[in-house]
Structure 1
Amino acid sequence: MSAILDDLQARGLLALTTDREALDAAFDAGPVTFYVGFDPTAPSLHIGNLVQILTARRLQDAGHRPLALVGGATGLIGDPSGKSAERSLNEREVVASWVERIRGQVSRFLTFEGPAAAQMVNNLDWTASVSAIDFLRDVGKHFPVNRMLDRESVSVRLAAGGLSYTEFSYQVLQANDYLELHRRHGCTLQFGGSDQWGNITAGVDLVRRVTTHSVHALATPLVTKADGTKFGKTESGTVWLDPELTSPYAFYQFWLNADDADVVRWMPAFSLRPLEELAALAEVARERPAAREAQRALAEELTTLVHGSDACARAVAASRALFGQGELAGLDAGTLSAALGELPRATVSRPLPTVAEVLVETGLSASRSAARRDITGGGAYVNNSKVADAEATLQEADVLEGGWVVLRRGKRSLAAVQVV
C-alpha cells in the first residue's frame, strides 16, 4: 500500500474506493492530480467540510496536486444528497459572492507554489457557455436513466415524495466536472464524503465512456457523534468556518467541550499530528479524562489552522479567564462578547444594582436569600474576585470592555451582565 493510503486508512478516512490496488499503484507512480469540490450553498463552509479540506492537505503534503473546485454552477442547482425536500434556489449574485468567500476559506489550507501547487477552479467556467442542446448531446447521452434512478440520494428523495428535474440533473453536472478536469488538468482522482459516492462514481463512469481512460475515486466516512446527535451542531446552530458566523472562541469551545469518546474518534481525521502523538493523547484521555488534554490539543490545533494563531491565543485566554485562570480585564471587547455569548445573562442600567440582585436576575441564584447565602458562603465572584459582603453593589470598576460584568457561582456556573 502507498504511504498516503496507509495513513488515510489508519486515520479512518477511507470509506470507499473504486479500485484499491489501482489507486495504490497510481499514488506510488505519482504525483496524482486530484480534485475535491465544495458547493456555495451558504456564505461559509462548516466544520464537516474540514474532513475534505484536511484530506486535500494531506494528499498535497504527500506530493500530490490539488484542484479545489468551488461550484459556481452546481451551487446554482443544489445537490439532493441528504435533503428531504427541494432546496431553495439562490440568486446568481448571492451564489457568486459565496463562491469568493469559500475560495478564500479553502485556499488558506493549501499551498499554491512548488511542484504540487494547488489550483482553485470554478465549474461555472466550463458550464456557463454550453447550450442545453450541446450538453444533452455531448454529456447527457452517456447517462442511462435507470442507473441515475438507482443513486441512493435520488432513490431516497423519490421515496420521500419526489424531486425536480433540476436536482435530478445534479449528478450529470458533477460528473461532467470530472471529465472537464481530466481533460484540462490531467485529473485522475476525485474524492468527497461517502454521501456523494453516487455522484463521484458517475464521474468515473463518464470519463471512461468518453475517453476510455480509467480514473479513480475515494470517499471519506461521514463524521458522527458517539451519542448519535449531528456532528457540527451546537445549541446555537452550525459551527461555521467564518469568524463572523461562529466566533473563534465558540469554535475553540466546540472542540474543547467534545466528549472523551468523540475526541478520540475525531483526532485522527481532523488533526495533522502524527498518529503516534494522537495515540498518546488518546491514552491520556482514557487515563485522565478530567485533564481534557486531548480536547485542548485538538481545539488549539484546529482554531489555529482555521482562524490563525492570534485568534487562537485570544480564545484560549478567554477560556482560562472565565474560570479564574487569567485576567478578564485583558480581553478585548469582541473576544469577551463572543465568550459570554451563550451564557445566561441579565441587562442592567445605572445606578448599578447589588451583586445579590444580579445573581438572581441571571439565574445563578434562586432567590435574594439564596444569593446572600452564596455570597456569605464564599461562592460568589465578580470578574473572578470573590465577593464577601452580602450587600455589595456592582462598581464602575467592575465594568469590562463592551460593558460586561462576569458573574460566577462556585467553580463552573457562569453568567454575564450587560451594563447599558
Structure 2
Amino acid sequence: MQITLQKSEIAKQSSIQITGSKSESNRLLLLKALYPQFNLENISNSDDSNLMTKALSSSSDVVDIHHAGTAMRFLTAFFAVQEGREVTLTGSKRMKERPIQILVEALQELGADIEYVENSGYPPIKIKGKKLTKNKVSLQANVSSQYISALLLIASRLENGLELTLEGKITSVPYINMTLSLLTEIGVENSFEGNTIVVKPAPKDLEAKTLVVESDWSSASYYFSLAALSAVGIEITLSSYKENSLQGDSALVEIYRHFGVETAFNNNSVTLTKTDKDVLPFTYDLTNAPDIAQTIAVTCFALGIKCDLTGLHTLKIKETDRLVALKTEIEKLGGQVEITDASLHLAEAKSIKSDVAIATYHDHRMAMAFAPIALKTSVIIEDAMVVSKSYPTFWDDLESIGFKITK
C-alpha cells in the first residue's frame, strides 16, 4: 500500500507507547524455548517476533521465516541442538540471497548436522538436530553480530558450554553484550575478555522468573528524528525505556544531542525536547549501532547539513543493500550522496523536492526513516505496510501526534 504524508506539524507535547525491543524479544523467546520456566512481558508485536514465536512452537518439518534475518540466524543454531528433530529452514527470495555460511560452518565445527538445500552458503538449509559435545569454535567477527549471538544463545545447553574465539574487528558489540546480559539475567555464567567469550552450561536448577522486555530503541529513533526536525520547544515522551539500556541504539541520546535534541529520563519513560542549539556537520562511527544509520542520514539531509557515517559494513546484507537504497532515495529528494562498502557521505543540501515517491525495498527501516521528511515537505512512501516487520502501529502513532496521512 502506498501512502502520502502531507506536510505536517506535530503537537507541542505528545506521548507514544512503543512495543518491546525486537532484539531483546527474539533472544528471550529463544531462551524461553530452551527454558520454559521463564515468563516474558512486553514482547515485541513485530512481524519478526511473531514469526520467531510461531517458528519456535512449530512442529512442521519446514519452517519459513520470510524476511526475518534475525530469526534465520537464531533458529539455525536452535534447531541444530534439538535432538532427533529434522527441519528445513527457509525464507523469502531476499533471504535466500543473504549469507549464512559463517554461522553454519561454526555450528558444523561444533558437530552440527546442517546441509544446504539449494545454493551453498545460503538458505534454505536442512538441519538434523543432535547433541553437540564439542565446546570450542572460532568465528569471523566483522560480518554480523547475529552469528555470534546465535551461538551464545544455545551455548548454555551444550554439554560442555562454549568457548568462542572472535577473529578480526568485532562488529555491533552492544548486541553481543545484550545477549550475554540476558544470559546473566536468567542465571547462566559467562565472560567476555579480549576476543574470547566463554558461556558455562546452565545450572540444572535455573530459577523461574518473569523477564520484562525494554521498548525498542531502533523504533524510538524515528521520534528523535522528528524532534530534530521540529520547532524549538517540541516535547515527545516515549515509553518504556531504561537509562542503563542493553540496546546499542540507545546511543541515540548522545547522537541527537548534536542535532539539538535533549533527552530526559523519568521512571520508565524518556522525554525528547528540541532546543535552539546550532546544528553543525556530523561525523560518527556507527559500528555499534548500524540499524540507526538510515534515520541519521535522513535527519542530516532534512536539516541541510553535511554528514559522514562510517562502520556501515553490515548494511549491505540487510533486508536490502541499505547503502545503495539510501543513496538512491536521498538523491531523488535532491541530495548528493557518496557511498563505499562501509560508509556514507552526504553533502549539504539546499532544498528538498516535494511529492517524491520513496521506494522501500521490502525494508521497514527505509519506510520509517524517510517519514520525518513530512515535517519539511510532502512525501510518498511506497509499500508503506512493510513497517509491520518491526513496528506495526507506526503510521497510526504518527497520525496521533499530528501527521496528515492519505492512504
Say yes or no: TM over 0.5.
no
* Greater strand content: 2
**For the pair shown, which has the larger CA radius of gyration, 1 or 2?**
1
